[in-house]
Amino acid sequence: MTDLTPMTALGAQAPAQLRAGALTITENMGLALASLSLRDAPAPIPFGLTLPGPGAWVGGGGVAAFWSGPGQWMIESEGRAESGFAAALAAEAPGCAITEQTDGWTAFEIDGPPEAIRALLEKLVNIDAAGFAPGQATRTGLHHMGTFLIRRAEDRLAVIGMRSLAAALWHALTETAKRQGETA
């Protein structure tokens, strides 16, 4: 029988991690993602989570959500990438369109002092890095890739990009963080 050992988006059995200067970048292979679209249904409160408005991210009770377009959100759950999360979300949001997204995206979590995260953002993306506060999320271009950025806390930033571009995204994040660490 074929060996069906799970692999990370970067092609390894264990998540990649790099410490560069004050920043730590970690591949988050346990993050489950599912998109939720309203159709004609009223906005649900899946898992007790009130869905955020444009540019916002909200989390609690092991789940989180960020706005991705009018009547659309991406719902996250840590540690449930292999659990059929979309089916659980569908039970929480009757009448809504739910689509499994976990295998289409990869997430990298960046931890470090707020000033180091802000400096990294200033080098990588065209957003107001100083104004990108905890609880905010946006879709933007990072090098040649479309990504979602989520400011989970003052000292935590998530970068979610297409799984097919995981190696390019990892390279952009880690090389920029290394250069930043050399000048700090």
Q: What is the pLDDT of residues 110-146, one digit of tens each?
A: 999 999 999 999 999 999 999 999 999 999 999 999 9
For residues 141 and 61, the answer to whether their CB atoms sit within 8 Å is no
Counted domains in the chain: 1
For residue 3, tell me if it sits in a domain.
Answer: no
For residue 177, tell me if it sits in a domain.
Answer: yes
- Where b means 16+ CB within 10 Å and e means fewer, 13-40 reads eebbebebbbbebebbbebbbbbbbbee
CATH number at 137 reads 3.30.1360.120
SS3 of residue 182 by DSSP: helix
For residue 164, tell me if it sits in a domain.
Answer: yes
CA distance linking residue 34 with residue 87, whole number of Å: 9
pLDDT value for 181: 77
For 3, residues 6+ apart whose C-beta sits below 8 A from its C-beta are none
Is pLDDT of 183 > 80? no
Is pLDDT of 160 > 70? yes
Domain range for 121 is 17-183
For residue 5, tell me if it sits in a domain.
Answer: no
Q: Where are the alpha helices (DSSP H) in the chain?
A: 85-92, 114-124, 166-183
With bands split at pLDDT 50, 70 and 90, how would you rate the model's confidence at 7? Answer: confident
With bands split at pLDDT 50, 70 and 90, how would you rate the model's confidence at 3? Answer: confident
β-bridge mates for residue 27, sequence order: 108
Q: What is the pLDDT of residues 58-112, one digit of tens each?
A: 999 899 999 999 999 999 999 888 888 999 999 999 999 999 999 999 999 999 9
Mean of pLDDT values over 151-176:
97
